[in-house]
Amino acid sequence: MFSLKNKTAVITGAGSGIGRAVALVFAKQEATVHLLDLNAAALDIVAAEIKNAGGNAVAHQLDVVNQAVVKTVFEKIGRIDLLVNCAGISNIGKADNTSEEDFDKVYNVNVKGMYNCLHEAIPYMKKNGSGVIINMASIANHVGLLDRFAYSMSKGAVLGMTLSIARDYMADGIRCNCVSPARVYTPFVDDFIAKNYPGKEKEMFEKLSASQPIGRMAKPEEVAHLILYLSSDEASFITGCDYPIDGGFINLNN
């Protein structure tokens, strides 16, 4: 089950965190994985990890914000069966203290960057007569998160794009879904806490972990396994859906 043999997968944000976990799981299931990230050194490490385990991986350094670069890389890849949009950034702030610069940066990466990849990948999928797209959304689609104005804006846009694509390209054999994690423990979390809560790292880590009713953050592999299912032929009847993976955050955090 969940074989991706003979599938070509493109994964953005593949240098770390959830993107890395997706790349490793997809390669294990025999997909040829194309790893996209701004961090070339991190990409090389992930690609080597996959190859050492007997998988097929190709690394492409790029900035998803630049559509011309995305187009060039996708042309080089040539065939795209699966697209997983994991590249993204966060931001701390409310509507009245989020700077225009920060708002634009979050929009450019999380919204425009995802649009650029969708814009370039869909024609290849239409040519194939099939394809699967998984977009990284967030629990911010469902609940109000404190001090996450720009981030919540961007993830709401991801949900809207997901539904639009699922409807527009159903006749082309393309499925599109999104997943909405709560907090996932990745290197991003450590960096985020260190940057925004210096001197209170341990306290904030415990606080963020406890905010999930299940009592901990998710592991990247847990999110990757859900993405694997949604990308597989076993999920062929699923499109236009958002899947929370949140340790009970949305419905049980009373």
Point out the residues that are catalytic.
151
Contact 58, 254 (CB under 8 A): no
Distance in angstroms (rounded) separating the CA atoms of residues 125 and 156: 25
Helix axes 17-28, 40-52, angle to 10 degrees: 30
Distance (Å, rounded) from C-alpha 246 to C-alpha 23? Answer: 21
- How far apart CA 104 and CA 157 sit, in angstroms, is 14
How crowded is the C-beta side of 74, counted as CA atoms within 13 Å? Answer: 25
